[in-house]
Each structure stands twice: as C-alpha cells, then as structure tokens.
Amino acid sequence: MDAEPQSTAGGGDPPAAASAWLRMSGVPWRELIQSGALIVVLTTAAVVLTLHFVRPAPPRTLTFSSGPKGSTFETIAERYRRSLARNGIELKIVNSEGSLDNLRRLADPRSGVDIAFVQSGIAPATPAGDLDSLGAMFFEPLTIFYRGSKPLQRLSELRGQRIAIGREGSGTRALALALLKANEIEPGGTTTLVALEGEDATRALLRKEVDAVFLTGDSAAPAMIRELLHTEGLRLFDFPQADAYVRRFPYLSKLTLPAGAFDLGENLPPASINMLAPTVDLIAHSSLHPALSDLLIEAATEVHGRASLLQVAGQFPTPVAHSFPVSPEAVRYYKSGNKGFFYRFLPFWLASLIDRALIVLVPALVVVIPGLRFLPQVYGWRVRRRIHRHYSELMALERESLGSLTDGRRTTLYEHLERIERSVIAVKMPGAYADQLYLLRQHIGLVRDRLMRADMPLEAHPPAH
C-alpha cells in the first residue's frame, strides 16, 4: 500500500479548503479524473443547451424593401443605410410598388427581404405570426389633388370623374379604395379608377387625362407635390370631415398643414388645410436579431426624431401597434431608451462577440464553480467507496464461518480472505485516507481470527475478552 501521511506546521489541523485539496493530492488519479468528468459532462450539457436557445451572431447584411424609385420611402431608406453603415451593417435597398408589395415580400421567404415599410391599416393577406413591428416611424400624409374652379367639401363629389388611385401593390391604392368606398365610390361604378401613381399620375393630371390623383409617401416625391401646388387650376383637397374619418379609421391621424408650409414666398397653400395620414410602420421578421432591432430603432430615432411641419420633436419612432404587434425587443428598447451595455460603448462586431461569449460562459460558470467546490467531496466519496466495498465480502465470510465448515470450504474461505487483503494492500490511496485503510485491515484480521477459532477444538479456544 502506498500511503502518504500528511503533516501540518505547529501540529494543528489544516484549514478546511487546504485539507480538501490535500486529500485530492497524490493518488489515485483515476478517481480524481472520474470525479472531474462529471463536472465536465454537466458543463458541456449546460453550454450545448445554451447554444441551442441562444441566437446566432447577427448578420452583417439586411435587405430593405422600400418603395418606388424617387419616393419618400426610398429616400428615407437611404438615410437608414448611411446610419447602419457606421456600425458595419450593410443595408441593401430594393425598390417596390409600395406597402402591399412590401408586405407580400415579407410574407414570402424566397424574397430575401428582412425589413420593409408598411403603411398602417393594411390588413395582412397572410397570417402575421412571423412578422413584428418595430414601431410607427412617421406620418404618411395623403394628398389629393383635383382639377376644379371651386373647393370640394367631400370626396363623394368626385363621383363620376377619373381618379388615379395608385398601382396594385401600393399603400396609396389600398387607402384610396377604403376612403372612396366610405363615400360610396367603388370599382365598377360610374367613376373611373385609374391604376396610376407617382410621376405617371402627376403627368396624367397635368395633361388633363385624369381629374384627381391620390398621392402618398410611397408613391410620390416631395418635388411632385410642390409642382402640383404651383400649377394653375389644381387644388389640394381639404378634409372638413377629418374628425369623422379618424373616428371611422382608427389607423388615421388628423394633421393640420399650416398656410405657406410648402412655399412661404407664394403662401402655398394659401390657408391651413386638414389632412389625413396613416403612420408608416417598420415591419420585420420576428427572428430579427435583437442587436439589429436596436440598431434599426436607433437609426429611426436619428432619421425621424426631429420636428417637422407635421410632427413635434421626439414624436417618432413610437411603439404603436396597428396591424402587427410590436416586437418584445422593440418594446424593451423603447422602455429602456438605449441599446445593450456593450453595444453602447464598443464597436458593433466586438459587442456582439462579447455578448455571445457571456451568454455561453455564464451557464458554464454556474456549473463549474459549484462543481469545483464539491469536487473534493465527490472524490472523497469515491475513494471511501473503494475501501467500503470490501466490507460486504467480509461480513459474508464471517457469517459463513459461524456455521459448520468442511476442510475444503474452510480453505476456500481462507484463500478468499487472503485475496481481499492483498487487494486492499495493493490499493493506491492518499495518506489522508490511510486510517480507514488500516481499520479495514484490522477488520480483516478479526475475520481471520474467527476462522481460526472455528478451526480449533473447543478447549483450545482462547478466552473471549
């Protein structure tokens, strides 16, 4: 038997922590390795389980479906692109027909579109379970220009005329059809509804090919609006019934465009005008990485947070839900008002790396630290088990020695006892457990004495003490 007795200076007991590690020092290493293997297995399981639920690293590229070329949607998307580029994220902008087209692309996994502008109030054609809103980003005023010598008071007065309501797939068309239907003007009636929008609709109105046009941010550039305001014989529709429209269509807001808002020199428009405006929501897949969600809302705050003719400073972006629920990550950002700790102070790629490393390390440390604390106890239990497992054999031998034994059986029991003793002597054991090992050898000696007494005549038995 290899036993290594321990001693401490001054004859006192070593501290508890030192004693635990002294017990583990030396031999047998196999027990130590097997004891530590349990911690390794639990740590690996914790890391694997964490990696199963943790999101992958955020992608470095996003695809943004904006709107028609030259539209407000495209202009704003370009400003998002510049903002995200500062954090190393490439924003690929693809043009579309407008909000409905954007929504169809988001619903189609083959389109590759990650985010898009969608006008509020547009009911999704497919279930929206995979889509979340990052909030309302800005107002999209509806501007209706018409040709006439006197102001119109109601949209129903356009009945029987030619109206450009936008192309299929645009939010302009969806909103125009909803408002006209509320005024009992629908496709197939006496009113001609023309699928033109943006510059095409503007040119048609100037050439007198249509009598009125519906324009919004996803179909018209601001330059078009200014051109129409300066054109003789064209009027911008004022909504006297704006309050009633807002009550009927909750996704609409009433806005007041002040006199001279477009041209102070010529005072255009000449008087304040009531306008209706849905908001534009930034829609993304629910699987969008939280870090990218934060960056997009941060970019939106930079782009839309200032005051303008139609909004006050800080009004947008805002977590208002319309057709889509606001994502939990967006809600968290709006409540806290900032990004995660590392993303605020470090480059995006480094913050992402540290964030993911911590997500993996924390569960591992939760297992490793308590595991290291209990490792000496597990190790000690395994060492003691190697000693105690011989007691069951000893007790069986002793019980059998109490009965009547033949010479052959007694010889077999002696041999068995010798094998036990040799295996005990051969055990490689730390010195801290030597006392238990020697106690086992004493008990082996007791059983050997029992066998010897059973082998003697009764008068030769030594007196019991």
Contacts of residue 175, Cβ cutoff 8 Å, sequence gap at least 6: 119, 121, 142, 214, 216, 278
Q: Which whole number is the average pLDDT over 222-229? A: 81
pLDDT of residue 457: 52
> Are the CB atoms for 292 and 142 separated by under 8 Å?
no
Domain ranges of the chain: 9-36+375-460
Whether residue 22 is predicted with pLDDT greater than 50 in this model: the reply is: no
- Sign, CA dihedral 48-54-60-64, equals positive
Q: What is the pLDDT of residues 97-155, one digit of tens each?
A: 888 899 999 989 899 999 999 999 887 655 557 899 999 999 999 999 999 889 999 99
- Sign, CA dihedral 394-395-400-402, equals positive
Q: What is the pLDDT of residues 377-427, one digit of tens each?
A: 776 777 777 777 778 788 888 887 777 778 788 888 888 888 888 887 776
> Are the CB atoms for 212 and 164 separated by under 8 Å?
yes
Q: What is the pLDDT of residues 357-387, one digit of tens each?
A: 666 666 666 666 666 666 667 767 777 777 7
Q: Determine the Cα–Cα distance for residues 190 and 35; give it in Å rounded to an integer.
A: 87
Chain mean position to CA 126: 23
Tell me the CA distances in angstroms from 449 to 49, 401, 416, 443, 455, one per residue in order. Answer: 57, 10, 14, 10, 10
Q: How confident is residue 92, by pLDDT bands cut at 50, 70 and 90? A: very high
